[in-house]
Amino acid sequence: MKTIVAATQNKHKIREIEAITKEFGMSIIARDEAGIPKVEVVEDGETFEENSYKKAYEIMKLCGKITIADDSGLEVDCLDGAPGVYSARFAGVDGDDDANNKKLIDLIKDVPYEKRTGRFVSVITMVFPGGESIVARGEVEGHIVLEEQGPNGFGYDPLFVPVGYDRTFGEIEPEIKNKISHRANALIKLREMLSARENTL
């Protein structure tokens, strides 16, 4: 079985991605398991694709193995696509979910519900030692509410109601979310791409 190095340290993301890659004889290990130094890859790209590729490519250079990375976030239409690639640090501090959610609510509180549309985006990139890469993008459309609802998930999940549902990702059961989410949709595409090139892996 081939070993893939995950650019992320997020065990939840690794578990979701490996559920797909193991079908193709690929097991995923975290960066620290691969003995990679604790370096921070600067996410200065203007798109999810740029950041996802950069994270995967930089870690691949350090380990010389197939590397996979995910970059994801929320795009809100009435904010011209913000927070977008800045989703995790929207309020200024990386990973401060409470501050990010509060800032988002403040910015759209006067916008009627039907115009508070947006989407979660996930871009998963796999980079091979030879420099080749495959990129899978997944999205899920929905509306933004003005009050956090539900204890599940993380980030903007308690504010996001996916199309076809009347509950937020914070209220929807994780096993359901994992079938309809942006990352799930990206993983479906990744499976298709890996299947198409299975004989060359």
Catalytic one of 32, 70, 71, 97: 71
Q: What is the CATH number of the domain that holds 102?
A: 3.90.950.10
Q: Which of 108, 92, 125, 198 is nearest to 160 (CA)?
A: 108
Q: Which of 129, 177, 182 is nearest to 153 (CA)?
A: 177
Rounded to whole angstroms, the Cα distance separating 28 from 21 reads 8
Q: What pTM, to 2 d.p., does this model score? A: 0.89
**Residue 94 a catalytic site member:** no
Q: In what order do the strands lie in the sheet with 2-6?
A: 26-30, 2-6, 67-76, 117-127, 133-144, 160-162
Each residue's pLDDT expressed in tens, for the chain with a length of 201 residues: 688 999 887 777 788 788 778 877 888 998 888 888 787 888 889 999 999 999 999 999 998 999 999 999 999 999 999 999 999 999 998 879 999 999 999 999 999 999 999 999 999 999 999 889 999 999 999 999 999 999 998 899 999 999 999 999 999 998 898 889 998 899 889 888 988 876 555
Pairing of strands 160-162, 117-127: unpaired
Rounded to whole angstroms, the Cα distance separating 14 from 39 reads 18
Residue 93 is part of which domain span? 2-200
What residue type is assigned to position 61 of the chain?
A: K
Report the domain count for the chain.
1
Rounded to whole angstroms, the Cα distance separating 130 from 132 reads 6
Q: What does residue 10 show for φ and ψ, rounded to 5 degrees?
A: -70, 110
